[in-house]
Amino acid sequence: MKFFKLHLSTLSIMSIVATGAVGNISETGQSAFAAIAEITAALDSASDTDWDKINIDNLVTHLRDMNLVTLRSTVARQKVKDSIIFHISGAGDTSQAIYRMVQAHAPFLQTATGWKITFNQLPDGARLRVQANTQAELSKISALGFYGLLTLGAHHPQHHFIIAKGHSGH
């Protein structure tokens, strides 16, 4: 096993962080890393954190799913009466990530909006049906599209915290 010495530059960085000399700088870099950093800081500062139950790897899997779905899926939509039906598809790992994301976010979306949400798994992803209560809501659903719908309800920080604490978050 190799042991490494801390270099002076590493010690200087540690000193800056310890003294708070970074001021208002808060961005930790890449967004998934920033989400993990934020969650681990919250867990570290919570007096009731049960470290035996914490599972940051689950959070990393979810963040990977978010990335795959956002960047590697395609969406076709169809308007049917008072609903928009989204067919979200992707290849390889993306198809499973799509279903996990739809399954995880559908309950949050329904609670946040009052819309009737149904979904099912497809070989290449998932089908999501969002039923509006009014024509104005139908227009909003259409304008937001699948990706915009995933952001409604501002649930992500709490959702990520629940996942990191070892729960499914769904």
What CATH number did the domain enclosing 110 receive? 3.30.780
3-state secondary structure of 132: coil
Digit-coded pLDDT (tens) for 56-66: 998 899 899 99
Mean pLDDT score of the chain, rounded to an integer? 84
Model confidence, pTM = 0.73
In a domain? residue 163: no
Tens of pLDDT, residue by residue over 139-166, are 999 999 999 999 887 666 666 667 777 7
For residue 75, give the nearest of 110, 113, 122, 138 by alpha carbon: 122
Q: Is residue 170 part of a domain?
A: no
Residue 86 lies in a domain: yes
Q: How far, rounded to the nearest angstrom, does the alpha carbon of residue 75 sit from its chain's CA centroid?
A: 18
State CA 17 to chain mean position distance: 28
In a domain, 96, yes or no: yes
Is residue 60 a part of any domain in this protein? Answer: no
- Strand 83-89 and strand 125-131: the pairing is antiparallel
3-state helix, strand, coil in the chain (%, to 5): 55, 15, 30
Q: Residue 101 domain-assigned?
A: yes
Residue 2 pLDDT more than 70?
Answer: no
Number of domains, the chain? 1
Q: How far apart are CA 68 and CA 124, in angstroms?
A: 13
**Is the residue at 128 inside a domain?**
yes
- Report residue 102: phi and psi, to 5°: -65, -45
Domain membership of residue 83 (yes or no) is yes
Q: How far apart are CA 103 and CA 93, in angstroms?
A: 16
Q: How far apart are CA 121 and CA 102, in angstroms?
A: 9
Question: Residue 113 is part of which domain span?
Answer: 74-153
